[in-house]
Chains A and B, each alone.
Chain A
């Protein structure tokens, strides 16, 4: 029963912050709401005894939110008090995508056969997880790392100053 109470509380936090993220017009507030959603999802993972997943969610998305805020501040600081409102066409496209996504998720939820709940949630051992990642699931794991490497190289290439506006060497 207490797990159910905790679940509904956390679910309310997740859904509420997600909604807040959509209706907020200020990019830093949006980022904070995003943090609430992602942190709430991390807490849901903790509730389901998936400790490793929860911690990784916190590490990855806390850093990600930080970047969002930094970029938000850097990109919007020129125009003070700028309010982000979607155009009508953007809102329409967003609604269509969301309806499609919702339909897909609901179909998935309805069609899946949910096995009966285990008596006690078992925490997965991190060592086991690591071994599995580097043996059974080695190929997907390595593919993801190559993808991340490509992203890093791409980011470094984009950030590289082009020949014309290269800054003078600092001495």
Chain B
């Protein structure tokens, strides 16, 4: 078999007439944006105060947009050269891009906290966009790898070299070049708009999602409620996309989505109420700081009811992210991707980005509400001296005790759980989905809500019963974690016996 490389993955789909036009548009727009950014930057040096901040913020956005347009022009014009470059220099370039996004997005926020709020906001938005794009590319590649391993396949192996790591980047560039198809009998305006109506809420919820007590775009006292509201808004885009496709399978997918999300919002809301009741606030940073004292103070392990609420929340987020076993709206084997069937190219990519952004947000929310937020399992009090020490001690504190890295790690872990479930569980029927909601999730969450109310009224915080049940739940949680870890170790130890012959040669260490 001929070697399949990054170049092949990037091979352009433009027709001969469309390519020069696209290149002209992209490069023209890019030049205009970059020139505009330069002019605004020059103008900004003469301004002061708020106007300076606004001009600078707009200039940054224009510069980024223009740079992306120019990059797109280069990719469309020279796909093979870009592919070759990606193959040779891909990994260093990729790591450089990651570092650049982190520096551009977050360093100013931390270094100049006294800068005007709008500069901070623009940088937070850039950071959120960068994080979502990076995370979605990573998660799509990872999902394909995990799916492959679960099915004794390899998954993507060739693009970029090491285990096909550049597959998502190549796919993204390819999707970017694809023709944007509109279904003939559909509603073109709504069809175009649906992708944005899905993507924008999924992106904007990162403004209120704290990565740690300090790393948060806007620390709102209604942060949790805002995130839930934006979760709900994404559904409208799905419904519009399905309807505007003028295709009965897409319509079925969209109606299933609406049906499912409306039903599961109720158990989701009831499960959310438990941590809100314990913390007495809707502010996510306060809920997170409540769990700073080691993993036995994590909200999921406070008492049996919070533990059950954590589980029901996890199940309900599966349904609202349309992940298996609740992936009926997409159902690729019966509805051919449901509401996304008619989409291609960039708009399809927006739907995928929205899905993975929502998955990460759901995982991060699970971590913040129930599993210690941005704190490591160690009590934060042990590292209090490091938190205010010199810079290297602060960095070490961020890694060992509490920091954004922990939240990202936990979020990715819960995304991993969602991926496992998708590739191990069968899809259930729609009536079973509704029965599971109405006859199981709803009663359980209602009973848990009632029980937690009485618990807070009747059981004082330091009493023997509270401590004993806290201990029991912690031990249970630790045992589950230990079980997962030992299954992983077992899998690694006996990997040659567990996977297919094709995979064996590519296992790490062979």
Contacting pair B255 A2 (CB below 8 A)? no
- Chain A residues with CB under 8 Å of B232's CB are 58-59, 62-63, 66
B344 located at the interface, meaning its Cβ lies under 8 Å from any Cβ of chain A in the complex: no
Contacting pair B187 A69 (CB below 8 A)? no
Contacting pair A62 B50 (CB below 8 A)? no
Contacting pair B239 A55 (CB below 8 A)? no
Contacting pair B221 A69 (CB below 8 A)? no
CA A77 to CA B235, docked complex, whole Å: 20
Contacting pair A62 B222 (CB below 8 A)? no
CA A167 to CA B258, docked complex, whole Å: 24
CA A67 to CA B258, docked complex, whole Å: 8
Q: Could you tell me which residues of chain B, from 222 to 243, have a CB within 8 Å of some CB in chain A?
A: 222, 225-226, 228-230, 232-233, 235-236, 239-240, 243
- With CB as the reference atom, state the residue of chain A lying closest to B248: A77
Q: How far is the CB of B119 from chain A (nearest CB, A)?
A: 13
CA A67 to CA B282, docked complex, whole Å: 27
Contacting pair A58 B258 (CB below 8 A)? no
Tell me the total A-B contact number using a CB cutoff of 8 A. 75
CA A126 to CA B193, docked complex, whole Å: 34
- Chain B residues with CB under 8 Å of A170's CB are 431
- Chain B residues with CB under 8 Å of A29's CB are 187, 189-190
Contacting pair B225 A28 (CB below 8 A)? no
- A125 touching B221 in the complex, CB below 8 Å, given contacts A28-B190, A28-B243, A66-B258: yes
- Chain B residues with CB under 8 Å of A35's CB are 236
- Chain A residues with CB under 8 Å of B236's CB are 32, 35, 62, 65-66, 69
Contacting pair B225 A52 (CB below 8 A)? yes
Residue of A59, A69, A123 near B239 (CB, 8 A) is: A69
Query: How many residues on the B side are at the interface (Cβ–Cβ under 8 A)?
Result: 32
Contacting pair B262 A66 (CB below 8 A)? yes
- Chain B residues with CB under 8 Å of A62's CB are 229, 232-233, 236
CA A129 to CA B89, docked complex, whole Å: 56
Contacting pair A2 B50 (CB below 8 A)? yes
Contacting pair B239 A127 (CB below 8 A)? no
Contact mask for chain A residues 136-149; partner B; CB cutoff 8 A; 1 contact, 0 none: 00000000000000
B400 located at the interface, meaning its Cβ lies under 8 Å from any Cβ of chain A in the complex: no
CA A56 to CA B222, docked complex, whole Å: 10
Q: How far is the CB of B437 from chain A (nearest CB, A)?
A: 16
- Chain B residues with CB under 8 Å of A52's CB are 221-222, 225
CA A73 to CA B245, docked complex, whole Å: 13
Contact mask for chain A residues 38-79; partner B; CB cutoff 8 A; 1 contact, 0 none: 000000000000011001101100110111011001000100
Contacting pair B239 A66 (CB below 8 A)? yes
Contact mask for chain B residues 44-62; partner A; CB cutoff 8 A; 1 contact, 0 none: 0000001000100000000
- Chain B residues with CB under 8 Å of A125's CB are 221
B182 located at the interface, meaning its Cβ lies under 8 Å from any Cβ of chain A in the complex: no
B150 located at the interface, meaning its Cβ lies under 8 Å from any Cβ of chain A in the complex: no
CA A123 to CA B218, docked complex, whole Å: 13
Contact mask for chain B residues 278-293; partner A; CB cutoff 8 A; 1 contact, 0 none: 0011100000000000
Q: Could you tell me which residues of chain A, from 110 to 158, have a CB within 8 Å of some CB in chain B?
A: 123, 125-127
CA A29 to CA B193, docked complex, whole Å: 11
Contacting pair A126 B240 (CB below 8 A)? no
- Chain B residues with CB under 8 Å of A127's CB are 221, 280-281
Q: Could you tell me which residues of chain A, from 59 to 106, have a CB within 8 Å of some CB in chain B?
A: 59, 62-63, 65-67, 69-70, 73, 77
- With CB as the reference atom, state the residue of chain B lying closest to A26: B187
Most A CB atoms within 10 A — which of B197, B230, B236? B236
B335 located at the interface, meaning its Cβ lies under 8 Å from any Cβ of chain A in the complex: no
- A126 touching B221 in the complex, CB below 8 Å, given contacts A32-B240, A66-B235, A73-B255: yes
Residue of B50, B54, B229, B281 near A55 (CB, 8 A) is: B229
- Chain A residues with CB under 8 Å of B282's CB are 126
- Chain A residues with CB under 8 Å of B280's CB are 127
CA A121 to CA B31, docked complex, whole Å: 40
- Chain B residues with CB under 8 Å of A55's CB are 222, 225-226, 229
Q: How far is the CB of A5 from chain B (nearest CB, A)?
A: 10
Residue of A2, A28, A56 near B240 (CB, 8 A) is: A28
- With CB as the reference atom, state the residue of chain A lying closest to B251: A73
Could you list which residues of chain B lie within 8 angstroms of chain A, going by C-beta atoms?
A: 50, 54, 187, 189-190, 193, 197, 220-222, 225-226, 228-230, 232-233, 235-236, 239-240, 243-244, 251, 255, 258, 262, 265, 280-282, 431
18 contacts between A and B (CB under 8 A): A28-B244, A32-B190, A32-B193, A32-B240, A51-B221, A51-B222, A52-B221, A52-B222, A55-B229, A58-B226, A58-B233, A62-B229, A66-B236, A69-B243, A69-B258, A73-B251, A73-B255, A170-B431
Chain A to chain B: the 6 pairs with minimum beta-carbon distance, closest first: A58-B229, A59-B229, A55-B225, A62-B233, A51-B222, A55-B226
| Besides A52-B221, A66-B235, 19 new A-B residue pairs in contact (Cβ under 8 A), listed by A number | A2-B50, A28-B244, A29-B189, A35-B236, A51-B226, A52-B222, A55-B229, A56-B225, A59-B228, A59-B229, A62-B229, A62-B236, A63-B265, A66-B232, A66-B262, A69-B240, A69-B258, A70-B239, A126-B282
